Chain A
Amino acid sequence: MRLAFEERGADYLLAIKEAHGQAAPVLLRKGDDAGTMRFDVPYQMTMILTNISRFIKEGRIAVVARRCDERAIAELVKRDLLNHDNLVVIGLACSEEQIRECRCTDPCPSSADIGHCAAPAKEDQAASSIQSMPLPDRLDYWIDQFRKCNKCFGCTLNCPVCFCDDCLLEEKTFTPEKGIPPGLAFHLIRAVHLADKCVECGECERSCPSDIPLLALRKMVNQDMKRMFNYTSGDPERRSPLLTTLEGDPMEDDGDAC
Chain B
Amino acid sequence: MPVDYILTTCPYCGTGCNFFLQVADGRAVGVVPCKTDETSAGSLCIKGYNAHAFVNHSDRLTHPMIREGDQLSKATWEEALQRIASEMKRISDEHGPDAIMVLASAKCTNEENYLIQKVARAAIGTNNVDHCARLCHASTVAGLLQSFGSGAMTNTIPEFENADCILVTGSNTLEAHPLIGTRILKARDKGAKVIVVDPRDTPLSRVATISMRQESGSDVAWINGMINIIISEKLHDEEFIAARTTGFDELREIVKNYTPERVKSLTGIPEDDLVSAAKMYASADKAMIAYAMGITQHSNGTNLVRALANLAMVTGNVGRESTGVNPLRGQCNVQGACDAGALPNLYPGYQSVEDAETRSKFEHAWNRKLSEKKGMALTNAFDKALTGEVKAMLIFGENPMMSDPDIGHVERAISKLEFMAVIDIFPTETVKLADVVLPAACYAEKNGTFTATDRAVRAVRKAVDPPGDARPDWQIACDLGRLLAGDGFDFASPEQVLAEMAAVAPIYGGIDYERIEEEMVRWPCPSKDHPGTKVLHTESFKIGKGVFAPIEHTPPAEETSDEYPLILTTGRNLFQFHTGTMTRRSAKLQREAAGPYVEINTEDARRLGIIDDASVRITSRRGTITLAARVTQWIRPGTIFIPFHYAEAAANRLTNNALDPTAQIPEYKVCAARLEKA
Give the B-binding residues of A (Cβ under 8 A).
19-29, 41-43, 48, 51-52, 54-56, 144, 147-148, 150-154, 157-158, 170, 178-181, 206-211
Which residue from chain A places its CB closest to the CB of B516 in the assembled complex? A20
B33, B41, B206, most chain A CB atoms within 10 A? B33
- Whole-angstrom distance between the Cβ of B50 and the nearest chain A Cβ: 9
- The reply to whether B206 and A150 form a contact with Cβ atoms under 8 Å apart is no
List 13 extra interface pairs beyond A51-B22, A154-B49, CB under 8 A: A23-B36, A25-B32, A48-B32, A51-B29, A55-B24, A55-B25, A150-B203, A151-B574, A151-B592, A170-B588, A209-B45, A209-B179, A211-B186
Give the A-binding residues of B (Cβ under 8 A).
1-5, 7, 18, 20, 22, 24-25, 29-30, 32-37, 41-46, 48-49, 174-175, 178-179, 181-182, 185-186, 189, 203, 206-207, 459, 517-519, 573-574, 588, 591-593, 630
- The reply to whether B3 and A209 form a contact with Cβ atoms under 8 Å apart is no
- The reply to whether A27 and B593 form a contact with Cβ atoms under 8 Å apart is no
User: For B630, what are the chain A residues with a Cβ–Cβ distance below 8 Å?
Assistant: 178
In the complex, A20→B1 CA distance in Å?
19
User: For A206, what are the chain B residues with a Cβ–Cβ distance below 8 Å?
Assistant: 42
User: For A29, what are the chain B residues with a Cβ–Cβ distance below 8 Å?
Assistant: 1
In the complex, A181→B204 CA distance in Å?
10
- Given contacts A23-B36, A152-B44, is CB(A56)–CB(B519) below 8 Å? no
A-B contact pairs, 26 of them (CB 8 A): A19-B7, A21-B36, A23-B36, A24-B7, A27-B1, A55-B2, A147-B207, A148-B182, A148-B185, A148-B207, A150-B182, A151-B46, A152-B49, A153-B49, A154-B33, A157-B49, A170-B592, A179-B175, A179-B573, A179-B574, A180-B174, A206-B42, A207-B33, A209-B44, A209-B45, A211-B186
Which residue from chain A places its CB closest to the CB of B597 in the assembled complex? A178
In the complex, A5→B478 CA distance in Å?
47
- The reply to whether A22 and B2 form a contact with Cβ atoms under 8 Å apart is no
User: For B175, what are the chain A residues with a Cβ–Cβ distance below 8 Å?
Assistant: 150, 179-180
- The reply to whether A26 and B174 form a contact with Cβ atoms under 8 Å apart is no
- The reply to whether B42 and A207 form a contact with Cβ atoms under 8 Å apart is yes
Which residue from chain A places its CB closest to the CB of B183 in the assembled complex? A209
In the complex, A28→B459 CA distance in Å?
24
- Whole-angstrom distance between the Cβ of B368 and the nearest chain A Cβ: 36
- Whole-angstrom distance between the Cβ of A160 and the nearest chain B Cβ: 13
- The reply to whether A152 and B46 form a contact with Cβ atoms under 8 Å apart is yes
- Given contacts A179-B573, A180-B175, is CB(A43)–CB(B35) below 8 Å? yes
User: For A147, what are the chain B residues with a Cβ–Cβ distance below 8 Å?
Assistant: 203, 206-207
User: For B35, what are the chain A residues with a Cβ–Cβ distance below 8 Å?
Assistant: 22-23, 41-43
Which residue from chain A places its CB closest to the CB of B8 in the assembled complex? A20
Which residue from chain B places its CB closest to the CB of A175 in the assembled complex? B592
- The reply to whether A208 and B178 form a contact with Cβ atoms under 8 Å apart is no
- The reply to whether A211 and B189 form a contact with Cβ atoms under 8 Å apart is yes
User: For A24, what are the chain B residues with a Cβ–Cβ distance below 8 Å?
Assistant: 5, 7, 20, 34
- Whole-angstrom distance between the Cβ of B673 and the nearest chain A Cβ: 21
In the complex, A20→B185 CA distance in Å?
29
In the complex, A225→B433 CA distance in Å?
62
- Whole-angstrom distance between the Cβ of A154 and the nearest chain B Cβ: 6
- The reply to whether B5 and A26 form a contact with Cβ atoms under 8 Å apart is yes
- The reply to whether B20 and A180 form a contact with Cβ atoms under 8 Å apart is no
- The reply to whether B593 and A179 form a contact with Cβ atoms under 8 Å apart is yes
In the complex, A22→B18 CA distance in Å?
10
A23, A151, A206, most chain B CB atoms within 10 A? A151
In the complex, A258→B29 CA distance in Å?
24
In the complex, A38→B44 CA distance in Å?
22
Which residue from chain B places its CB closest to the CB of A206 in the assembled complex? B42
- Whole-angstrom distance between the Cβ of A190 and the nearest chain B Cβ: 15
A26, A144, A206, A210, most chain B CB atoms within 10 A? A210
Interchain residue pairs A-B with the least CB separation, the first 7: A209-B43, A209-B182, A55-B24, A21-B518, A22-B36, A23-B36, A210-B182
User: For B34, what are the chain A residues with a Cβ–Cβ distance below 8 Å?
Assistant: 22-24
- The reply to whether A152 and B591 form a contact with Cβ atoms under 8 Å apart is no
In the complex, A83→B448 CA distance in Å?
40
- The reply to whether A20 and B517 form a contact with Cβ atoms under 8 Å apart is yes
User: For B48, what are the chain A residues with a Cβ–Cβ distance below 8 Å?
Assistant: 152
- Given contacts A52-B3, A150-B574, A211-B186, is CB(A20)–CB(B518) below 8 Å? yes
- Whole-angstrom distance between the Cβ of B52 and the nearest chain A Cβ: 12
- The reply to whether A41 and B36 form a contact with Cβ atoms under 8 Å apart is yes
- The reply to whether B36 and A180 form a contact with Cβ atoms under 8 Å apart is no
User: For A42, what are the chain B residues with a Cβ–Cβ distance below 8 Å?
Assistant: 35
B42, B48, B179, most chain A CB atoms within 10 A? B42
In the complex, A210→B181 CA distance in Å?
9
Which residue from chain B places its CB closest to the CB of A203 in the assembled complex? B42
- Given contacts A22-B7, A180-B175, A211-B189, is CB(A154)–CB(B43) below 8 Å? yes
- Which of B29, B36, B185 is close to A210, meaning CB atoms less than 8 Å apart? B185
User: For B22, what are the chain A residues with a Cβ–Cβ distance below 8 Å?
Assistant: 51
- The reply to whether B593 and A55 form a contact with Cβ atoms under 8 Å apart is no
- Given contacts A22-B36, A147-B206, A180-B574, is CB(A56)–CB(B7) below 8 Å? no
User: For B174, what are the chain A residues with a Cβ–Cβ distance below 8 Å?
Assistant: 150, 180
User: For A180, what are the chain B residues with a Cβ–Cβ distance below 8 Å?
Assistant: 174-175, 203, 574
In the complex, A154→B40 CA distance in Å?
12
- Which of B4, B7, B178, B591 is close to A150, meaning CB atoms less than 8 Å apart? B178
Which residue from chain A places its CB closest to the CB of B593 in the assembled complex? A179
User: For A144, what are the chain B residues with a Cβ–Cβ distance below 8 Å?
Assistant: 207
Which residue from chain B places its CB closest to the CB of A21 in the assembled complex? B518
- The reply to whether B459 and A154 form a contact with Cβ atoms under 8 Å apart is no
- The reply to whether B588 and A27 form a contact with Cβ atoms under 8 Å apart is no
In the complex, A206→B3 CA distance in Å?
25
- The reply to whether A25 and B20 form a contact with Cβ atoms under 8 Å apart is yes
